[in-house]
Chains A and B, each alone.
Chain A
Amino acid sequence: MNHSAYIFDAIRTPRSKGKADGSLHEVRPLELSAGLFRELQSRHSLDTAYVDDVVLGCVTPISEQGSDIAKAVAQQAGWDESVAGVQLDRFCASGLEAVNTAAQKVMSGWSEMVVAGGIESMSRVPMGSNGGAMFTDPEFVISQRQVPQGIGADLISTLGGWGREAVDAYAVESQRRATHARDNGYFDRSVVPVKDRNGLVILEKDDFIKPETSMEGLARLKPSFQQMGAMGADEMILSKYPEVEAIHHVHTPGNSSGIVDGASAVLIGSEKAGKDLGLTPRGRIVAGAVLATEPSIMLTGPGPAAEKCLRIAGLQKSDIDLWEINEAFASVALRYMSDLGIDHEVTNVNGGAIAMGHPLGATGAMLVGVVLDELERRNLKRAMVSLCVGGGMGISTLIERV
């Protein structure tokens, strides 16, 4: 018996605007996540007593998302009382960190089956409402040159030579790909409609995507971080980058990830679990890696993390068929492709968070599902999933079909 961590399923809710007028604002995060668990159970006639643990990423774990929401979700979904649960927070990597942690639990032989995923209702528990030293402690912010991440994103594009047109073009393409994928049913297997307690559908498919996005439209948007930069943030970070003359502020709401509500769940287990429960594995988690890079620019971790992940797996870039990078900002994706020397043709082939949104704690596990579906659709083997992370961290996970 080997100790591989298999992926039996990877599902997610549709994503919708994370504000009061978003379609999912009326859904409590507890219930948003529990709906996925009920779906996993019914889809696979799952004996939930077999599940050892639930690991959920959540970046704003206070208020309705506080007090270890992972355990509450397992109960809310009516799963067996033996199922444990833990919530974790590695900023935007939380969802993928959950997948990696679950895989480690299975690969170590400590667990047979774990659900990994994430939940973030950004409309109900706003980003940043949990505070934290990293962004609010003056001594730390000054000594560490801890500028807002958008400043870092703009510095990345400045350093890479990607002007407004390049980042906007990337955004338009993300919208086009996401629209195409959604409208052609590529997401249908894994996007589970959100229903109310009467069984009425609240939201069936992603409704954050803006298919009508154009270069002209995007050009009209004002840079989001210009003012903040002028207030002193630019100066603060440039003290670390003396070779840069000035930061070009190119990121706008149109080429940055959207604030949305959403949840994800990935069923991960051992070979034994698959046999005991009669489940066919769809994929395997080959390796995962985290590291940290320069924290002020903050968002340059994904490329190095992917390299590290390849080293751990003993594979080459050429062994990877599809690449998935979280589109926190357009420049993050451009930098990732540039760092790794990979083509946009094999990266984020169905669009990304610029089009569909980035429900912070849930996104990482969503990307696993998106790319696994696409590997199957194209009959390819391996994919790398990466995200940039607060504090300069990067995370990557390598999966392959079995």
Chain B
Amino acid sequence: MSVFDYKKDNEGIVTITMDMTGPVNAMNAEFDEVMSATVHRLETESALSGVIFASAKKDFFAGGDLKEILTVDAEQAKAYFEKVEAIKSFLRRLEKLPVPVVAAINGAALGGGLELCLGCNYRIAVNNKRVQIGLPEVTLGLLPGAGGIVRMTHLLGVEKAMPYLLEGKRLRPEKALSEGLIDELVDDSESLLPRAHAWIMDNRDNADAAQQPWDRKGYRIKSNINKPSVAQAAQFAPFMVMGKTRGLLPAPERILETAVETLRVDFDTAMTIESRNFVSLVISPVAKNMISSFFFQMNKVNGGASRPAGIEPSRIAKVGIIGAGMMGQGIANVAAMAGIEVVLKDVSLAAAEKGKAYSAQLLDKAISRGRNDEAGKEKVLSQILATDQDSDLEGCDLIIEAVFEKLELKHQVTKETQQRLAEGGIWGTNTSSLPITRLAEVADKPDNFIGIHFFSPVDKMPLVELICGEKTSDETLARAFDFVRQIRKTPIVVNDSVGFYTSRTFATQLYEAAQMVAEGIHPVRIDSLGKAIGMPVGPLTVHDEVSLQLTKTIEETQTQMGLKQAENDPTPLASQLVDELVTKYNRGGRYHGDGGYYNYTENGKTIWPDLLEKYYQPVVEISDQDIKDRLLFRCVIESLKCLQEGVLRSVADGNIGSIMGIGAPAWTGGYIQFVNTYGLQTFMDRCDELANLYGSRFKAPDIVSEYLNAGKTFH
């Protein structure tokens, strides 16, 4: 039996039930073969009156073959282009059949799945949660290359189609219906095929039912490019795209180009243009980076590749959080949102209540945006007990300590409270800078002790960094991992080191930026070029936000603890600058002292004039590229060192951690993946250049040459 089960009934209606090899239906080599044969058979079928495409899987149809896409390089562009054109021709022939073709959508139809549906005359979906409709290609650096852009533009008009193409939004069935992506909903999956059948029967004499709108006589595309409103939209759209991508992500640009071309040329020519643009993305390093990290490594990380195997899955029923400050209140919120019983403890009841009130604020905001209601709010708040009593922590499966970053204080809290844990409970410390092994010294059971590093703001940041101390057990790690998944966040697992992985890597860029300021480079230029490589905001602005004061305190603490030595400081000018700004000029950051690199007023920020006066030297010559690379390469090199030293246990954790935690630009696919497409040899050469000009901190770690010699890349 074929993976496309082909059944013709007495009415002349053929139902094709897709049940491809593997867990999902997808546009892969098997699809090419079976679709080719199926379309041919339909074209030659006698007394055909209609066609229904259905799925035997839980989902309708997944999408393209991402594994194959990762292997296609510029040399295979021609063959791949022809392949894409072939797939398109199957869909084109399908929609040109003289009978109605119906997509019976039983589950998710994303990417290639939706493109298959768009090649049908009519789309009926089941109205349940399983059904998602959308074209998420852009999120992986691609575009919908199987007719998705052209058909969406024809179907909805360019203005309405663009958001779905540019943002990759996934729609629930009702929204998909109201937006015109599908035509009809049925209430349950049992009704799906009968309804598809009935629709074909009802439309036997309706010529339009068998013809796509764009193939009908006298058809005109909805958006006429010569109409001032459309022309104006086409004129503004590039600004909006560039504003979001800073020119670093080619996919949205190609999507826009393809959509505008669709308005200018006939349907079939637009299809070819779409194919060419698709191929250009497939062979681009950015798509390779994004697919590797955002799809494969993300699945790996969330799927538990770093979770110790063979340990029973666990759930946390009750969590205690000590310290109701910014981090503690955020952790309480996400835990309560996940239905976990939360005890939020601080030294005073007022402080604890204030921490709980934070959740109320977030919920009110959600209600005002229509994303929650009063009942939902009450339910979440009822999960949180604000208290100043240690005794309320009795019986917690997990206690997360989130008090101020001081070793003694954290030790004291641990000693006072750890006996409150339930039998077999685990202790987590939310620190961003203190070594877990040192913190665990006072633990009764150091094997139950682990670092659980949240990022701020906790409700928005999707990443949690789990840090194993010397004695942390696999059991404890697995339970912490399960907890992070339970609160619907992504855990990466690292080993203990100064600053772990994320803080350590993040800091290098802040210091490199400071070093450049101290060298006399214009600070605004440094910030702008940080943005130009795709950082959310410039490094000096970030430093003002996290505060120079904090950097200085951490630096001092780590030096006092013997974790760092001043003589090994890779950027001494930077350390000196930070010290001067904080101590001499009271520039501790946006919320500390009189401001930081910038002055802050209600009208926004402007560079602190004295900074220019004291440090800026117009004679200093440096290229934009060098500034960009100094900011980027420090992070990349530090990530590679973390991998080399075993701080990172996997490449995937490093990539996902850098993207989700510390703002690594999306186009890189993460700070380690960047090296794969930059080229290991090219990377080493560039590191040498930078090292010669700016210092030995730019030497490529040995792991790069090891991988290069072994013919490996970082996966």
Within 8 Å of chain B (Cβ to Cβ): is A124? Answer: yes
Within 8 Å of chain A (Cβ to Cβ): is B417? Answer: no
A200 touches B269 (CB 8 A): no
Which residues of B in the span 242-266 have a Cβ within 8 Å of any Cβ on A?
261, 264-266
If A26-B272, A26-B273, A63-B226 touch, whether A198 touches B265 (CB-CB below 8 Å) is no
B266 touches A198 (CB 8 A): no
Q: Mark A208-226, 1 if CB is under 8 A from B, else 0.
A: 0000000000000000000
Within 8 Å of chain A (Cβ to Cβ): is B77? Answer: yes
- What residues of A have a CB within 8 angstroms of the CB of B88 in the complex? none
Within 8 Å of chain B (Cβ to Cβ): is A313? Answer: no
Which residues of A in the span 119-154 have a Cβ within 8 Å of any Cβ on B?
124
- Secondary structure of the B side of the interface? helix
Interface size on A, residues (CB 8 A): 12
Q: Which residue of B is nearest A197, CB measured?
A: B280
A124 touches B265 (CB 8 A): yes
B265 touches A196 (CB 8 A): no
B77 touches A198 (CB 8 A): yes
If A63-B226, A64-B264, A124-B264 touch, whether A198 touches B269 (CB-CB below 8 Å) is no
Within 8 Å of chain A (Cβ to Cβ): is B608? Answer: no
- What residues of A have a CB within 8 angstroms of the CB of B269 in the complex? 20, 25-26
Question: Closest Cβ of chain B: how far from A30's Cβ, in Å?
Answer: 12
User: When chains A and B are docked, how far (Å) is the Cα of A197 from the Cα of B280?
Assistant: 7
A200 touches B276 (CB 8 A): yes
If A20-B265, A20-B266, A124-B265 touch, whether A197 touches B273 (CB-CB below 8 Å) is no
Within 8 Å of chain A (Cβ to Cβ): is B300? Answer: no
Q: Which residue of B is nearest A20, CB measured?
A: B266
B77 touches A200 (CB 8 A): yes
Question: Closest Cβ of chain A: how far from B86's Cβ, in Å?
Answer: 15
Q: Mark A321-362, 1 if CB is under 8 A from B, else 0.
A: 000000000000000000000000000000000000000000
Within 8 Å of chain A (Cβ to Cβ): is B26? Answer: no
- Secondary structure of the A side of the interface? loop
Within 8 Å of chain A (Cβ to Cβ): is B406? Answer: no
User: When chains A and B are docked, how far (Å) is the Cα of A64 from the Cα of B257?
Assistant: 13
If A26-B272, A26-B273, A63-B226 touch, whether A199 touches B266 (CB-CB below 8 Å) is no
A198 touches B226 (CB 8 A): no
Which residues of B in the span 268-285 have a Cβ within 8 Å of any Cβ on A?
268-269, 272-273, 276-277, 279-280, 283
Question: Closest Cβ of chain B: how far from A75's Cβ, in Å?
Answer: 14
B265 touches A200 (CB 8 A): no
A25 touches B277 (CB 8 A): no
- What residues of B have a CB within 8 angstroms of the CB of A25 in the complex? 265-266, 269
Q: Which residue of A is nearest B226, CB measured?
A: A63
B279 touches A198 (CB 8 A): yes
Within 8 Å of chain A (Cβ to Cβ): is B74? Answer: yes
User: When chains A and B are docked, how far (Å) is the Cα of A199 from the Cα of B73?
Assistant: 12
User: When chains A and B are docked, how far (Å) is the Cα of A55 from the Cα of B269?
Assistant: 30
Within 8 Å of chain A (Cβ to Cβ): is B6? Answer: no
- What residues of B have a CB within 8 angstroms of the CB of A28 in the complex? 261
Q: Which residue of B is nearest A27, CB measured?
A: B273
Which of A20, A63, A198 is B276 in contact with, Cβ under 8 Å? Answer: A198
Q: Mark A23-58, 1 if CB is under 8 A from B, else 0.
A: 001101000000000000000000000000000000
- What residues of B have a CB within 8 angstroms of the CB of A198 in the complex? 74, 77-78, 81, 276, 279-280, 283
Q: Mark A261-289, 1 if CB is under 8 A from B, else 0.
A: 00000000000000000000000000000
Which of B266, B272, B277 is A197 in contact with, Cβ under 8 Å? Answer: B277
Question: Closest Cβ of chain B: how far from A19's Cβ, in Å?
Answer: 9
Q: Which residue of A is nearest B254, CB measured?
A: A197
Question: Closest Cβ of chain B: how far from A113's Cβ, in Å?
Answer: 29
- Determine which residue in A25, A26, A200 has the highest number of CB atoms from chain B within 10 A of its CB, and name it: A26
Which residues of A in the span 292-311 have a Cβ within 8 Å of any Cβ on B?
none
B265 touches A199 (CB 8 A): no
- What residues of B have a CB within 8 angstroms of the CB of A196 in the complex? 276, 280
User: When chains A and B are docked, how far (Å) is the Cα of A199 from the Cα of B226?
Assistant: 31
Question: Closest Cβ of chain B: how far from A120's Cβ, in Å?
Answer: 16
Which residues of B in the span 74-93 have a Cβ within 8 Å of any Cβ on A?
74, 77-78, 81
User: When chains A and B are docked, how far (Å) is the Cα of A180 from the Cα of B279?
Assistant: 36
Question: Closest Cβ of chain A: how far from B265's Cβ, in Å?
Answer: 6
User: When chains A and B are docked, how far (Å) is the Cα of A26 from the Cα of B81?
Assistant: 15
B264 touches A199 (CB 8 A): no
User: When chains A and B are docked, how far (Å) is the Cα of A121 from the Cα of B516?
Assistant: 51
Question: Closest Cβ of chain B: how far from A207's Cβ, in Å?
Answer: 16
- What residues of B have a CB within 8 angstroms of the CB of A200 in the complex? 77-78, 81, 276, 279
- What residues of B have a CB within 8 angstroms of the CB of A124 in the complex? 264-265
- What residues of A have a CB within 8 angstroms of the CB of B273 in the complex? 26
Question: Closest Cβ of chain B: how far from A20's Cβ, in Å?
Answer: 4
- What residues of A have a CB within 8 angstroms of the CB of B279 in the complex? 198, 200
User: When chains A and B are docked, how far (Å) is the Cα of A63 from the Cα of B264?
Assistant: 10
- What residues of A have a CB within 8 angstroms of the CB of B272 in the complex? 26
Point out residues on B near A: beta carbons under 8 Å.
Answer: 74, 77-78, 81, 225-226, 261, 264-266, 268-269, 272-273, 276-277, 279-280, 283
Point out residues on A near B: beta carbons under 8 Å.
Answer: 20, 25-26, 28, 63-64, 124, 196-200
A-B contact pairs, 29 of them (CB 8 A): A20-B265, A20-B266, A20-B268, A20-B269, A25-B265, A25-B266, A25-B269, A26-B269, A26-B273, A26-B276, A28-B261, A63-B225, A63-B226, A124-B264, A124-B265, A196-B276, A196-B280, A197-B276, A197-B277, A198-B74, A198-B77, A198-B81, A198-B276, A198-B279, A198-B283, A199-B77, A200-B77, A200-B78, A200-B81
Q: A26-B265, A26-B276 are in contact. List 10 more A-B contacts (CB 8 A).
A: A25-B266, A63-B225, A124-B264, A124-B265, A196-B276, A197-B276, A197-B277, A197-B280, A198-B81, A200-B81
